[in-house]
Amino acid sequence: MATTSDIPTLMLRGSLMDVSRCRIMGILNVTPDSFSDGGRYTDTASAVERGLRMAEEGADIIDIGGESTRPGAQAVPAEKEIARVVPVIAGIRSRSEIAVSVDTRKADVAAAAIAAGADMINDISALRHDRAMADVVADSGLPVVLMHMQGTPETMQMHPRYDDVVEDVLNFFCERIAFCADRGISRIVIDPGIGFGKSPQHNIDLLRALPRFAALGHPLLVGVSRKSLIGAVTGLPVDRRLAGSLAAHLYVCRHGAHLVRVHDVEETRSAFAVLYALERGEVPAHAL
């Protein structure tokens, strides 16, 4: 059992977020082609309402993305990505105090999102895609998610190979954390990148090794919701992967993850509530 001093901290919206219990990051893709919910929230009004609904359902952070990073996805120009995400960030920020993250690997998009009220940068390239991104993050003082990805979204699932996937990804994070330290970036979240340049077995190996990633001393984010790993295990299509996703969320919650990135906020919150009640041995006061 980790002690209080072992638990990393995450500063969002001017206060420390308690990550001693697993926090929920709700996924809001404002794209026409994301693998699970592409095309559902392409207009600003519906996207803002979806974000606010996730906040009501119990999300702790809303992660807004304007470029699909599913396997085989093509890059989107920064101008189009900005046009997709900035109005949604501004719309949510005008009506809610919930923390907002922007899912982008481009410095111009990150800067525009920060100006609109974003509280965190989620970079699937771990500051490798755009050389200017490190300066944007450092100047903002905001936390950044560093994700591991082998290759690019266009190529990452073309025969991914590792000498040892756990050691290779751990070494990657050690290098990236050192890079950030050199650039004056200390507020880091790490994400092993489930499904980003990994086979189903690679993903299993990484999830079973989560305590080793948590031991790096930074908040650990895991995104496995509805992904191909769930499909590989269950044999079910994307729209029938809720139960498998919840099982994965409960597993990672108890094996080192501090945050989970999910499509199904209300269901995940309910699963966590039952888990915590059973572990505490008491019904929450609000349910009495």
| Active-site residue list | 227, 261
Integer CA distances (angstroms), 144 to 75, 118, 270, 284, in order:
21, 11, 28, 33
Question: Could you tell me which residues come within 8 angstroms of residue 17 by beta carbon, excluding any fewer than 6 positions away?
Answer: 9, 10, 11, 23, 60, 99
Q: What three-state secondary structure class fits 25?
A: strand
Tell me which DSSP letter residue 151 carries.
S
> Which long-range contacts (C-beta less than 8 Å, at least 24 apart) are formed by 39-42?
42/84
Which structure tokens are listed for 118? 């974003």
**How many helices (H) and strands (E) would you count in the chain?**
10, 10
Q: Which two tokens stand for residue 221?
A: 């984010």
CA–CA separation, 100 and 178 (whole Å) = 26
Structure tokens at 226: 């509805």
How many CA atoms within 13 Å lie on the side-chain side of 285? Answer: 0
User: Could you give the CA distance from residue 285 to residue 288 in angstroms, rounded to a whole number?
Assistant: 5
